[in-house]
Structure formats: C-alpha cells, structure tokens
Structure 1
C-alpha cells in the first residue's frame, strides 16, 4: 500500500470516529439544552406576569402564548417577540394585559449586542441598585406607538428613555415591540373566538 492510500484510510477512520462522537454528544446535550431553555422561558413568564397563580399554554401558528390566571380570571398574556438588533436577533419575553393595551413586564431572553453598550438593554452594571432599569421602564406603558427620548427622562404612557450610546439597541427593542404586539393581539384573538 502506498503512502497516500494509507493517509486517506487513516483520515477517513479519524473523520468517521470524530463525526460519530460529535453526533452522539449532540444527541446527549440537546435534551439538556432544551430542558434549560424551557426552564428559562418559565422563569421569564413568571417575571413578566407577576400576579398569576397559574399559566396555561395556548398555541397558534406563529406564537406560543402563556396565559396567566389568578382565581380563574385571566390576568395577563406573555409571548416571545423577536427582531433584529444592532448585531443579531434580540429575543424578548413580553407580558401584556389581557386586552394587549398595557405592558405588565418585559425581559430579554437572548441578545448579542455590543458589550458594555447594547447589552445594557438587559443589564446595566453602571446603575447600581437598578441594573434592569431599561426593561423595567416598559412595565405599565401603553402598547402601540412606543417612542424613545435621548438624554432625558421619559414622559407619558408610551415614551421610553434610550440607553446613552446604544440608541440603535434601544430603538430595536421598541421596534420589536411595536411590530409584534399588534400581530400577537390578532393571533390571540383568533384562537379565542
């Protein structure tokens, strides 16, 4: 056997073993990753729907709704909203009142914004004691035409203070909400008819 046939044979065996090992490892870890994601989603639902005894899942084509109940009455609805940020997709868990008119909470599920700037949409270490100030300001705001202001406090039911130096990320969150809430409302109403 010449040298090139031996090299091809050795490389084929190594590639096959490596591929098999990676395939096995993927099958093993994907279940654990899915379980972790479900726990993360359940925690996010509890954060954006704080006044509930139980949550029930209702699904439609594009949305999975987590409907919050207290004493048998619907207290809020949560769903995932996604859209483009400065670097990548921003994924949010959005909580709204049953009529979709007011935000009950908001949390960031995933984002890959610029470290130290855009990442402040989820957590801002420069604001000691109020690290989640950006997403906290959505609670109680009216859905619909959210806007942002720069370098000043937000006023009104639909105005949000943008993060200094990260206006694109701030605007991305607002755009995601302005685009997804009406669509989610229509989808939710269609499954409740």
Structure 2
C-alpha cells in the first residue's frame, strides 16, 4: 500500500524507476525494523517499576519461552520469563520471575489458561502459587500428590495433577533457561 502511494507521488513528479526502487527498498527496511519483536510484553510492563531498566533477551526465547527480560534498578536484579505450557485442557501462559542475586524464584503469575473451572482453575490461587516462591534454581522441581518430603517437590492441586504438572514443567523450563542467561 505504501509502495503504491509513494510510487504514484514519484511518478507524478517525473522520478525514474531507479528512484522508485530506492524508495521501495527504504520502506522494506523500515517495515522490517518496526516489525522486530523487541517490544516489551504488556504483562512485563505491568510488573516493572519506573526506575527499573528492562532489556529483552530474545536470543534466549524459543517456542515455549516467548519472552525473556533482564530487569534491574541497581539494587535488585531479576530475570522475567513468559512461558506457555500444555495443561490438561489447553495452554497455560505464565510469568516466572527469578531473583539473580538469590538464585531463587521470586514469583510466578498465571497470565491465562482454559483449565476446568472446578479443579484446574485453582492454579491461579495464591496458596498454589506460593508453593513456588523461594525455590532455589539449583533444583529441578517435580510434582507429588499428597505431601512434599523434599525441597524440590511441589504438591499438585488435588484433582488437577496434569494442570499442576504443566505449571511445574513451565517453571522448570524457565529455571533451565535462567541458568543459560546467567552463564551456568
């Protein structure tokens, strides 16, 4: 559309085909640069503070981890990752925030899901999400059904084991990716 508009203007002014090709080339470059996915996801913008510096680390993104950010304000330093993982019904999108200095999970947030409203939807409850807080990044987490006997165990939501496993799998992907970001 833009090419047609600019071509008509250049032709009207008696410009040559060479000038039109040059203008078209510039438009393609502008389009490609503006379409690069270096923007900050709105979910990340909602959790960062005004005094924090945010850098997107797109080289650490893949099919499931679709946003990786280094966030700092000089005192605290965090790795914020957006991840999508299959639950029982559909994809569960979540945000995992890891503290660089403490090497532990600071917080996870469920961004969206379509899990069942009876048990699966409990994945958004504070009591479930708090099970991840403070977990160190040197352990891979695993799901257990009744009670946790080790630090690396997360108790599943009763009646929603597959949903719980999806969340844990997404968090584990972020832990492994965090280690890559940190250079371990």
TM-score scaled to structure 1, two decimals?
0.61
Question: Using the alignment, how far apart are the partners of 1:74 and 1:67 within structure 2?
Answer: 11
Mapping 1:84-123, distance limit 5 Å: 84-98=86-100, 101-123=103-125
Question: Using the alignment, how far apart are the partners of 1:38 and 1:64 within structure 2?
Answer: 7
Equivalent position of 1:68 in the other structure: 71
CA contact (8 A) 1:91 1:111 kept: yes
Mapping 1:9-158, distance limit 5 Å: 38-43=41-46, 45-46=47-48, 53-61=51-59, 62=61, 63-70=66-73, 72-98=74-100, 101-123=103-125, 132-143=126-137, 144-152=139-147, 154-158=148-152
SS at match of 2:94: strand
Question: Using the alignment, how far apart are the partners of 1:39 and 1:165 within structure 2?
Answer: 32
Equivalent position of 2:168 in the other structure: 174
CA contact (8 A) 2:67 2:83 kept: no
* TM-superposed deviation, 1:82: 1.3
- The Cα offsets for residues 91-118 of structure 1, whole Å up to 9 and x where unpaired, read as 1100112168421110001111111211
CA contact (8 A) 2:76 2:101 kept: no
Question: Using the alignment, how far apart are the partners of 2:122 and 2:85 within structure 1?
Answer: 17
TM-score scaled to structure 2, two decimals?
0.64
- The Cα offsets for residues 147-169 of structure 1, whole Å up to 9 and x where unpaired, read as 122233x3433111110110110
SS at match of 2:115: coil
Contiguous gaps of at least 5 residues in structure 1: 1-36, 124-131
Question: Using the alignment, how far apart are the partners of 2:128 and 2:53 within structure 1?
Answer: 26
User: In the comparison of the two structures, how many residue pairs are matched?
Assistant: 138
SS at match of 1:173: helix
Question: Using the alignment, how far apart are the partners of 2:102 and 2:176 within structure 1?
Answer: 8
Structure 1 residue ranges (4+ consecutive) displaced by more than 2 angstroms after TM superposition: 37-43, 63-70, 154-157
Question: Using the alignment, how far apart are the partners of 2:85 and 2:42 within structure 1?
Answer: 22
Contiguous gaps of at least 5 residues in structure 2: 1-39
